[in-house]
Structure 1
Amino acid sequence: MLLQLLDYLGVAVFAVTGGIVASRKQLDFIALLFFATVTGIGGGTLRDLLLGVPVFWVENETYLLVCLIVSVSVWVFADRIERLGKPLRWADAVGISAYSVMGAAKAMSVGDTTLVAILMGVATATFGGVIRDTIAREPSAIIKPEIYVSAAFAGAGSFVCLSLLGTPQILAALVAATIALVLRGGAILRGWTLPGYGNKAGN
């Protein structure tokens, strides 16, 4: 049940980010719906295609309904959402936290290896945002120095490790999602980064 909720949450909050980007560009509703839907289901679609399992939103159209509801909500309340302060980045952070766990859990459920499960968690958590930023011609967060992909890696890796240690799935999911959210939240609030590759040629 918790993993199902995380899946819906991941789709919803990533759809919010797509809708926000479209609203900022003053696009029409159909374009906003497109942005929200592609962003919401993008990461999970890549995951399922790579795992060779039925694509989740084809099997359950509720996910598309979630994207539609989010699109209408953003269309009506975009101005209020913007007043919340960094809504795009925080929605993205919640999406990373939920989807890094869900992606890893789904890979483990079909019997894939530990490394594949972690990679699927990272891919699920980041690919929707990459699609969104590419279509919108915006700089992608994954190429910025602050913690982003690393948060997804920490969430997926924590979930996999805790699961292998026998931690109950619900607890493992909550702990892992919290770790990812704290790391990404620290990057948003405090500018947390990991050491980058130095220009050694210039030294």
Structure 2
Amino acid sequence: MLIDLFPPTVLHALDIAGIFVFAISGALLAVRKNFDVFGIMVLAGATATGGGLIRDLIIGAVPPAAFTDLGYLVTPVVAAVLVMFLHPEVERINRAVGVFDAAGLGLFCVVGTTKAFEYGLGLPFAAVLGVVTAAGGGVVRDVLANEVPSLLRWDREIYAVPAIVGASMCALLIQADALNPVTSALSAATAFVLRLCAIRYGWRAPRAWHRRSATAEEP
């Protein structure tokens, strides 16, 4: 087993913060889609805990953390209620929400990789589950909202790539027996900064070489 990189209370607080921000993004999409209160809460919860739930089921960490900690249930509900009543104000600080979302992405890709490795997965597969932890909730959100997942769309800033980089750095540090609070924070910060740069400069992943399709971009 790996050493505990952070005190449990600190890690739990960071986890809840990431869940809250992801829940905000899910609730905002639900409002834009004109969902009712139940739909808003479902989309908020799916976005917040979807990635971690998929990870825990794959590695056999059952019951999943989302069903053993009341904070994982209450936090998305609180976020959904806030957005339901204050969504115009939340929309106005959407840039700030994007920054916190990037922070959650960085944190979850490292936490997911570490937890998957602790449960016996090889490093390449642990890194894959790190990416799933970070980005899986967004995929579940978009599928439930009947949209093409954002991380699959060329016309959106890169999202999975920063998570891949952060999770890969974490896996390499584990391989080198160099994972500690400083290096794990560096992995998370790298994913965070890459995501912020993608938002700021509109970085997108390349498409197929010599692409000839005339299909219009989706709005």
TM-score of the aligned structures, taking structure 2 as reference length? 0.82
Q: Which residue of 2 aligns with 1:130?
A: 139
Range that drifts further, 166-175 or 50-59:
166-175
Q: Which residue of 2 aligns with 1:144?
A: 153
Other structure's SS at 2:35 match: coil
Alpha-carbon separation, structure 2, partners of 1:140 and 1:30: 21
Deviation at 1:63, TM superposition (A): 0.6
Q: Which residue of 2 aligns with 1:93?
A: 102
Q: Deviations over 1:147-198 (max 9, x none)?
A: 2111110111112222333335322331111111111111111012344431
5+ residue gaps, structure 1, are none
Say which of 34, 54, 60 aligns to 1:52. Answer: 60
Kindly indicate whether the alpha-carbon contact (under 8 Å) linking 2:18 and 2:101 is maintained by their aligned counterparts in 1: no
Alpha-carbon separation, structure 2, partners of 1:46 and 1:134: 15
Kindly indicate whether the alpha-carbon contact (under 8 Å) linking 1:20 and 1:88 is maintained by their aligned counterparts in 2: no
Report sequence identity in percent: 32
Tell me how many residue pairs correspond in the alignment. Answer: 202
Output aligned runs, 1:1-203, within 5 Å: 1=7, 2-54=10-62, 55-86=64-95, 89-145=98-154, 146-199=157-210
Q: Deviations over 1:106-165 (max 9, x none)?
A: 112223211111011011111110111111123321122332111110111112222333
Deviation at 1:87, TM superposition (A): 5.8
Alpha-carbon separation, structure 2, partners of 1:112 and 1:95: 23
5+ residue gaps, structure 2, are 1-6, 214-219
Higher-helix-fraction structure: 1
Q: CA RMSD in A?
A: 2.2
Kindly indicate whether the alpha-carbon contact (under 8 Å) linking 2:50 and 2:140 is maintained by their aligned counterparts in 1: yes
Q: Which residue of 1 aligns with 2:217?
A: none
Other structure's SS at 1:108 match: helix
Alpha-carbon separation, structure 1, partners of 2:166 and 2:207: 20
Kindly indicate whether the alpha-carbon contact (under 8 Å) linking 1:10 and 1:94 is maintained by their aligned counterparts in 2: yes
State the AA in 2 paired with 1:16.
Answer: I
Deviation at 1:29, TM superposition (A): 1.9
